[in-house]
């Protein structure tokens, strides 16, 4: 696969590491500030993989769309609107978190989200911790978890050290507490999931697809 890799920072860099360390059968071109993307350049690839900051991805979205190449994007910090995806001519996959293990969490949260069937008085909270350079807060993952819980959820954010991603969901009643925690130990988990999506994206219909739904389908096969 020829990959147009948008951004080779902390996460994009892991994609490169994974390809090189494991001799994966992919080649890549990096587009960043020193090599700005053009429609013509993007078209030389099979798939576009973005780990640009969200605002930069949105600023460049018309160029990316015009290329007509399938897209896998992990850029966060913006909301997907109808306007953003208007006129897509290729399949796109997005994720706020490319961890394949997050699917297991999804299933667990699905169970917790049924709390209202058993309890009248309870609360949910999410605490997320990330490195100090993360630009958005709360994290895209915390917001996705809140959607999965589908209830009132108080979210708190902490920025410290080089924490890759630590999410803790707590369900509390007067007399019991359930805690669910997902810790990312290496950014390679995002690179792995993103490359998995790059393999799948070309077989999808034109339009925007959610990574979680795609990989959940695989989990529940
Ligand atoms: N979905 C997921 O699983 C997942 C996982 C981790 C991170 N993320 C998200 O991925 C994004 C990137 O995170 P990161 O931690 O890898 O960021 P990062 O280390 O800051 O890397 C950002 C990359 O984007 C490039 N860039 C920044 N501004 C640019 C511009 N104006 N034009 C062209 N290139 C530009 C940088 O290139 P220069 O060196 O040229 O500035 C760098 O290569 C964030 O939105 C983050 O939340 C998603």
Same domain assignment for residues 161 and 195: no
| Alpha carbon of 211 to ligand 1 centroid (Å) | 19
Query: Would you tell me how many other CB atoms lie within 10 Å of the CB of residue 147?
Result: 12
The whole-number pLDDT of residue 217 equals 85
CATH of the domain at 131: 3.30.360.10
The domain of 59 spans 2-98+188-219
Residue 102: per-residue pLDDT: 87
CA-nearest residue for atom 15, ligand 1, is 10
CA distance readout (Å), 58 to 1, 31, 81, 126: 25, 15, 11, 27
37 and 54 both lie in a single domain: yes
**86 and 114 part of one domain:** no
| Ligand 1 midpoint to CA 193 (Å) | 16
pLDDT in tens, 178-199: 999 999 999 899 999 999 999 9
Q: Band of the pLDDT at 2, cuts 50, 70, 90?
A: very high
Q: Are residues 7 and 68 in the same domain?
A: yes
Distance in angstroms (rounded) separating the CA atoms of residues 65 and 97: 22
Beta strands 2-6 and 27-31: pairing type? parallel
Q: What is the DSSP letter of 165?
A: -
Residue nearest to atom 3 of ligand 1 (CA): 97
Residue 163, pLDDT > 90, answer: yes
pLDDT of residue 87: 94
Same-domain check for residues 90 and 146:
no
The answer to whether residues 133 and 175 belong to one domain is yes
> Tokens 């018309």, residue?
62
If pLDDT is split at 50, 70 and 90, which confidence band does 156 have? very high
Quote the pLDDT of residue 103: 85
Pair (108, 30) in one structural domain: no
Atom 36, ligand 1: residue with shortest CA distance: 7
pLDDT digits (tens, 9 = 90+) for 104-139: 899 999 999 999 999 999 999 999 999 999 989 999
Mean pLDDT over the full length of the chain: 95
Section 63-82 average pLDDT: 96
The domain total for the chain is: 2
Shared-domain flag, residues 158 and 212: no
H-helix or E-strand containing 58? helix 54-59
CATH code of 64's domain: 3.40.50.720
As for ligand 1, residues whose beta carbon falls within 6 Å of it are 7-12, 32-34, 51-54, 56, 74-77, 95-98, 190
Active site residues: 130, 134
What average pLDDT does the segment 168-187 reach? Answer: 96
**Residue among 221, 208, 217 at smallest CA distance from 87:** 208
The pLDDT of residue 48: 98
Distance separating alpha carbons of residues 172 and 166, to the nearest angstrom: 19
Measured in angstroms, how far is the CA atom of residue 189 from the centroid of ligand 1?
16
The values of phi and psi at residue 202, to 5°, are: -70, -20
Same domain, 177 and 93: no
């Amino acid at each position: 696969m020829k990959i147009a890799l948008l951004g080779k920072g902390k996460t994009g860099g892991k994609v490169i590491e994974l390809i090189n360390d494991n001799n994966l059968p992919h080649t890549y071109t990096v587009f960043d500030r020193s090599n700005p993307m053009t429609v013509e350049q993007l078209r030389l690839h099979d798939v576009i993989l973005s780990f640009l900051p969200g605002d930069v991805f949105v600023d460049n979205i018309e160029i990316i769309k015009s290329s007509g190449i399938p897209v896998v994007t992990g850029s966060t910090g913006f909301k997907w609107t109808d306007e953003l995806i208007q006129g897509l001519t290729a399949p796109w996959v997005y994720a706020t978190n490319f961890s394949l293990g997050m699917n297991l969490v999804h299933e667990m949260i699905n169970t917790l989200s049924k709390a209202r069937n058993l309890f009248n008085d309870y609360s949910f909270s999410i605490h997320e911790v990330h490195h100090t350079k993360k630009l958005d807060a709360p994290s895209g993952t915390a917001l996705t978890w809140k959607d999965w819980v589908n209830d009132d959820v108080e979210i708190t954010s902490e920025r410290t050290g080089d924490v890759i991603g630590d999410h803790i969901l707590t369900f509390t009643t007067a007399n019991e507490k359930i805690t669910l925690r997902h810790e990312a130990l290496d950014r390679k988990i995002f690179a792995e999931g993103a490359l998995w999506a790059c393999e799948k994206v070309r077989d999808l219909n034109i339009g925007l697809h959610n990574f979680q739904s795609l990989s959940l389908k695989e989990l529940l096969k």
